[in-house]
């Protein structure tokens, strides 16, 4: 196979709020890359994506206070970094974030290195405060957009799907009132209120998807036993809740109990900022339908790039969080498995001629993949149902 070409670029003199940084290629100094993005539980929110670079620092170019350094004075905390792979003349984004520290280490008289931790823009947004802002009732996507505007996040670095719910009018507590509201926490609450998701994409965009993002899912990528080096299957209550409780801010609590004498497994969503109880009920019914039954789950896939075919390599590099893929597997004992799953977490460890990728996934139910009708976007009662 042809090995993907890795490139790492730094935006010296720019910040994470720069819409289009001026990139400088530092690939020649990179010795190892690790990347982890996603979330650990389908019932939780996406976390700050992290990466690390092991850099050759023998000439001191990555030492912040080296006045003779090649990149002085721009070796700073917050430096934007972009990691990409090129394969068959196509660029694939793997990570976009900023440097959190520069901890140099010396290994010998003529060699030094620095392992640089990176964080995606969730880290940056968590430092911004929306305390004191006033918002009127508006759709989830409009509110997310308004919050991003208020913290001056570039319009070109966001991808927002149409929201299915409305966010209540609110005056966010300000520091003078004894409170503050990190922009990230508020943005995650807004997405979770309609059981949508918010994450940073591989190319640095704030990405919002509503709960019917998988509507009509027809995965174009299939992985089977010839592709992955390991598969983890589980039959667990990790994705099973038969009692759903959803409460909204300044409102009541909705409970749906489908336990019917079975052991109770409770999922609680508290203080959601939706504008009315009907929307809280919609979310509770959705959660009950999706998570109210037990099933065998494909949980994790592991891949080694070295054994990959050309088509497989392109497919693996193209994957993004929440993408739909098909997994086929025939166990030693039991029925063959053919599941449509969504990607919840992506991890890469990249060394010279050694590339390992791990995908944590969750099976999609027929409720999630049904073709839904969203106001203004589809033909009702044609091939879709009302979301």
Q: What is the pLDDT of residues 353-372, one digit of tens each?
A: 889 999 999 999 888 888 87
Same domain, 205 and 184: yes
Whole-number Cα distances in Å, 246 to 238, 336, 368: 19, 37, 19
Domain-embedded: residue 129: yes
Query: Among residues 119, 139, 154, which one ends one of the domains?
Result: 119
Is 154 in the same domain as 178?
A: yes
Q: What is the pLDDT of residue 372?
A: 72
Residues 66, 156, single domain; the answer is: no
Q: What are phi and psi of 85, to 5 degrees?
A: -125, 140
Q: Which of 74, 103, 119 is the last residue of a domain?
A: 119
- The verdict on 40 and 113 lying in the same domain is yes
Q: What is the arithmetic mean of pLDDT over 11-18? A: 97
Split into its structural domains, the chain has a count of 3
Token pair recorded at residue 332? 């030693």
Cα(14)–Cα(24) distance, integer angstroms: 11
Residue 135's beta-bridge partner residues? 170
Pull the structure tokens for residue 268.
């609680």
Shared domain check, 33 and 111: yes
Report the CATH number at residue 80.
2.40.10.10
Show the tokens assigned to 201: 């994409």
Res 153: pLDDT: 98
Residue at a domain's end among 65, 89, 119:
119
Tell me which residue range forms the domain holding 144: 125-209
Helical packing angle, 140-150 and 183-193, nearest 10°: 170
Q: Are strands 372-373 and 385-386 parallel, antiparallel or unpaired?
A: parallel
Which tokens hold the place of 13?
Answer: 């003199």
Lowest mean per-residue pLDDT among 198-202, 238-242, 316-320:
238-242
Dist CA 316 CA 262 (whole Å): 40
pTM: 0.91
**DSSP H/E element including 8:** strand 5-10
Looking at the fold, whether 40 and 79 belong to one and the same domain comes out as yes
Quick check: is 244 in a domain? yes
| Distance separating alpha carbons of residues 147 and 126, to the nearest angstrom | 12
Q: What are phi and psi of 27, to 5 degrees?
A: -55, -35
Q: Does residue 343 belong to any structural domain of this protein?
A: no
Q: In the chain, pLDDT over 90 holds for what percent of residues?
A: 65
């Amino acid at each position: 196979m042809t090995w993907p070409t890795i490139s790492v670029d730094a935006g010296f003199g720019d910040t994470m709020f720069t819409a289009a940084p001026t990139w400088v290629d530092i690939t020649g100094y990179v010795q190892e890359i690790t990347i982890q993005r996603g979330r650990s539980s389908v019932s939780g929110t996406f976390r700050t994506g992290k990466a690390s670079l092991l850099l050759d620092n023998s000439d001191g170019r990555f030492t912040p206070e080296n006045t003779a350094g090649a990149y002085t004075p721009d070796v700073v905390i917050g430096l934007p970094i972009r990691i990409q792979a090129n394969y068959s003349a196509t660029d694939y984004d793997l990570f976009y974030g900023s440097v959190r520290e520069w901890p140099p280490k010396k290994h010998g008289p003529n060699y030094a290195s620095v392992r640089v931790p990176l964080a995606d823009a969730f880290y940056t947004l968590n430092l911004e405060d929306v305390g004191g802002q006033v918002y009127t009732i508006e759709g989830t996507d409009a509110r997310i957009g308004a919050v991003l505007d208020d913290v001056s996040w570039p319009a070109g670095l966001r991808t927002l799907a149409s929201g299915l719910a409305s966010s209540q009018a609110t005056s966010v507590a300000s520091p003078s009132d004894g409170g503050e509201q990190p922009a990230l926490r508020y943005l995650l609450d807004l997405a979770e209120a309609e059981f949508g998701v918010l994450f940073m994409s591989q190319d640095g965009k704030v990405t919002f998807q509503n709960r019917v993002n998988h509507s009509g899912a027809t995965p174009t990528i299939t992985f089977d036993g010839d592709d992955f080096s390991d598969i983890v299957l589980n039959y667990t209550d990790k994705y099973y809740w038969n009692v759903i409780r959803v409460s909204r801010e300044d409102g009541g609590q909705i409970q749906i109990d489908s336990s019917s004498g079975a052991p109770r497994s409770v999922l609680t969503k508290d203080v959601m900022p939706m504008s009315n109880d009907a929307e809280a009920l919609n979310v509770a019914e959705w959660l009950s339908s999706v998570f109210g039954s037990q099933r065998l789950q494909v949980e994790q896939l592991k891949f080694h790039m070295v054994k990959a075919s050309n088509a497989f390599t392109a497919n693996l590099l193209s994957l993004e969080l929440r993408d739909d893929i098909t997994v086929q597997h025939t166990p030693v004992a039991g029925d063959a498995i053919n599941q449509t799953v969504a990607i919840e977490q992506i991890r890469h460890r990249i060394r010279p001629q050694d590339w390992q990728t791990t995908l944590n996934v969750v099976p999609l139910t027929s409720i999630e993949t049904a073709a839904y009708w969203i106001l203004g976007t589809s033909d009702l009662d044609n091939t879709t149902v009302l979301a």
